[in-house]
A and B are shown apart, each in its own frame.
Chain A
C-alpha cells in the first residue's frame, strides 16, 4: 500500500527524549516500510526514518524560537495544514494516517484518499469534545477502550494499543531496592501521592521526571520539601539508556495517577523490563495492568477527596508476590511495535477495501 503518515511537528521523529506520539509514529513508519509498504512520512525535516520523509517544516517546532510565542505557534500550525494538504493532493496514496488530531478534522472529508485519525490525547477536555463532535464520521482509532468513555459517539474503527520496541528494554529478574516514578512532575501524574505512599510503606522512591513550566510551582511547594535525597530521590529527566537501567532495576513503577490517562506508554516500558506497575484504576490502567499478575490496580481516592493510602501502601508491601516474567510476557503478547503495526495494517486494508466498493 501507499500510505501517508502525518506526524506532529513539535518534535523530531523519533524524539531525542520525551515524546510519546513521535516515538509511536517512528516505530510505525519504520516497521511498515519493513513490511514492504511505500510510506511517506510528513514530519519535521530533522527526523530520521526508513520511510520517504517529506519535511513540512525544516526543524522540529520546539526548536524554533517563533514557537515560544503561542500565537505564532498556532499560526505555524496553520501553515503546516496548508503544506500538508498540498502534499497530500500530490501524493495520491491509498490511505492517510493522521496523528495531529483535531487540526486535521475539518479537511478529512475533502481528501480523496480515506483518512484515519489516531486519537492520542484525553477526550475529557471540553474544547476537544466540541471540535470532534463537529466531525463524528471520520474513522477514528482510540489508543485504549477507556479513552472512548467521554466521547462515545465518534465513529471508532478500532482500538489499537501503542507498542514499544522490546529490544530497547532489558528484562531483569533481580531488581534493586527502590521503587520508580517516571515521566512528568505534575498533579495529574500523582507525584505527591507516590511520595506519600512510599513514605508510608517505608520504601525508597526514585523520581525520574521532567518539570514543565506550568508545574514549577507544584514542584517547589509540594514535591521539593519531601525530597530528602535518601529515601526520596529526584534524578531529573532521563534519556533512553538511563531509562532502561532505571526501569529494570526498580521493584515496581508507582503510578497513582489523578487523571484518565488514555494510554500509559511508561507502564508497558516498565513491564517490558520485568517491573510491575502499581497504579490507580483510571483511564487505560485496567486494560494494560493485570491486577495481581503484572502489578496492582488500586481503587482511586473517593471523589470527596478523602485520601486513603491504605490499599496503595499494601500493594507496595506485597510487590514480591508478582512474577516479573508475567510482566514481560504481557508486553510481548499485546504491546509490541510489531503487534501495533499488524493491527494498523489490518485496519488500513479494511478501510481501503471498503472504499473500493
Chain B
C-alpha cells in the first residue's frame, strides 16, 4: 500500500508520553510511533515538550495540567485546535483524539478527518448531540468497542470499532502470581472501588488499590475508601508503567466491578497481558474484553433481587484457579496488541481515502 501523510491530533491535558496513568495519551503515543515505523509520514500535534518519532507541531509548550489550567477552562484546547485546523492542508488524513469541541472547527478543513471517540457521550448531553446531529452522516468515527458504538446516543453513519492496543513487551506474562487481588483505576465511585473492597472483605482476601486521586475526589477517598484500609486492604498510590506491570503480574486476579458502561477498560487488557484473570461487572465493553469462564468472569451487575451482585464477585474470586493464566495472555496477544491496533487504523485510513 501507498504510504500516506497523516496528522495525529492529541489532547493537550497531559504530556506525551504520559508520565503516569493516562490512557488516551498512551494510545496516541503508541499509534503515532507505530505509524512512523511503518513508513508513513506522520505529524503529531501535541505540546512542545512531547517526545515522539513523528514530526512534532505545537502552539503550546507544556500540557494544560503541567501549567495548572483548571478543567473547566476550555480555551487551552480551543487554542490548540484552532492552530491544528490552520495547519491541516496537505495531509491525506487527520486523526483526532481530542473531544467533541473539535467539531466546531470541522467545516474549516477539506482534509478527510477521523475521530476516535475516547469518551462516551451521555444522552443527557443534549447540546453536544444537537451540534453533532448536523455531522452524523458526514463524519468518520471510530469507537473503542462495539458496546461504546451501540451506546452512543447518535447513530454515526461511517463508523468503525478499533480496540486499544497495549505494549505486550511492557506487560509481560507471569505464570505464578502471589496471593493478592488488585484494583487499578482513577479513584471514582463509578469505577467500582467500593465494590472491590466489599467483595475482598467477604472473600477474606488481600486487596491492593492503585490509582490517581483527582483533587475533586479527595473528599470521596477520605470518606468512603480510607476507613476501609487495613493490613489486608491497601492503597498504594499511583505507579509508573514499570512498577504497574509488576503489580499486575503478581496479582491473582484483577477485580474491576465498574458501575458504568466503560467504553474500553485499558486496565483489563493490561492485566490479561500479564496473565492475570479479570473479574468484572457486565458493563460496557466488559464482555468484549474478557472471555467469561476462560480469561476471567463477567459477573451480572445485579442479582435476582435487583441488588448489586457482590456475592457474584465473591464466587468468582473463589473460582479464580479454574482460569488458566496462559489463556489470558493469549487472548491479550490476539486482541489487544499495538500491532493490530495500528493495522486496524491503517485499514480505516485507506478506506476513507478510497471514498474521497
Contacts and interface: CB of A to CB of B under 8 A. Distances in A.
Nearest to B77: A106
B196 to A, nearest CB: 31
B127 A107 contact: no
A78 interface: yes
A58 to B, nearest CB: 13
Given A75-B127, A81-B104, A110 B75 contact: no
A131 B78 CA distance: 10
B105 A107 contact: yes
Contacts of A127: 73
B75 A131 contact: yes
A75 B126 CA distance: 9
Contacts of A241: none
Interface residues of A, number: 20
A85 interface: yes
Given A85-B107, A89-B107, A79 B130 contact: yes
Interface string B105-128: 101100000000000000000011
A130 interface: yes
Contacts of A110: 82, 85-86, 105, 108
Contacts of B104: 78, 81-82, 85, 107
Contacts of B128: 75
Nearest to B100: A78
B220 interface: no
B82 A78 contact: no
B110 to A, nearest CB: 12
A106 B107 contact: no
A2 B73 CA distance: 34
B131 A82 contact: yes
A134 interface: yes
Residues of B in contact with A, size category:
10 to 19
Contacts of A75: 127-128
A136 to B, nearest CB: 12
Contacts of A81: 104
Interface string B167-195: 00000000000000000000000000000
Given A76-B127, A81-B104, A82-B131, A130 B86 contact: no
* B interface SS class: helix
A135 B86 CA distance: 13
A106 B79 contact: yes
A79 B127 contact: yes
Given A131-B75, A134-B75, A109 B86 contact: yes
A82 B101 CA distance: 10
A72 B101 CA distance: 15
Contacts of B107: 85-86, 89
Contacts of B166: none
Contacts of A102: 75
A106 B101 CA distance: 12
Interface in B318-347: none
B74 to A, nearest CB: 8
Nearest to B103: A82
Contacts of B73: 127
Interface in A127-142: 127, 130-131, 134-135
Nearest to B109: A110
B12 interface: no
B121 to A, nearest CB: 13
Contact of B82 (A79, A109, A130): A109
B220 to A, nearest CB: 20
Nearest to B79: A134
Contacts of A78: 101, 104, 127, 131
A78 B99 CA distance: 13
Contacts of B316: none
Nearest to B82: A106
Contact of A106 (B78, B127, B131, B134): B78
A113 to B, nearest CB: 13
Nearest to A81: B104
A86 B105 CA distance: 10
A131 B81 CA distance: 14
B86 A86 contact: no
Interface in A36-88: 72, 75-76, 78-79, 81-82, 85-86
A84 to B, nearest CB: 10
Interface string B192-204: 0000000000000
A328 to B, nearest CB: 43
B129 to A, nearest CB: 10
B81 A106 contact: yes
Contacts of A72: 127
A356 B134 CA distance: 33
Nearest to B72: A74
Interface string A109-136: 1100000000000000001001100110
A86 B134 CA distance: 10
A75 B81 CA distance: 18
Contacts of B101: 78
A131 B75 CA distance: 7
A130 B78 CA distance: 13
A79 B81 contact: no
A78 B85 CA distance: 18
Nearest to A82: B131
A134 B59 CA distance: 10
Contacts of B81: 106
Interface in B46-101: 73, 75, 78-79, 81-82, 85-86, 101
A40 B130 CA distance: 24
Contact of A107 (B82, B103, B130, B131): B82
A209 B18 CA distance: 53
Interface of A: 72, 75-76, 78-79, 81-82, 85-86, 89, 102, 106-107, 109-110, 127, 130-131, 134-135
16 contacts: A78-B101, A79-B131, A82-B104, A85-B104, A89-B107, A106-B78, A106-B79, A106-B81, A107-B104, A107-B105, A110-B82, A110-B85, A110-B86, A131-B75, A135-B79, A135-B82
4 closest A-B pairs (Cβ-Cβ)? Answer: A106-B78, A110-B108, A106-B82, A75-B127
Given A82-B131, A82-B134, A109-B86, 11 more contacts: A75-B128, A79-B130, A81-B104, A85-B104, A86-B134, A106-B78, A106-B82, A107-B105, A109-B82, A110-B85, A131-B75
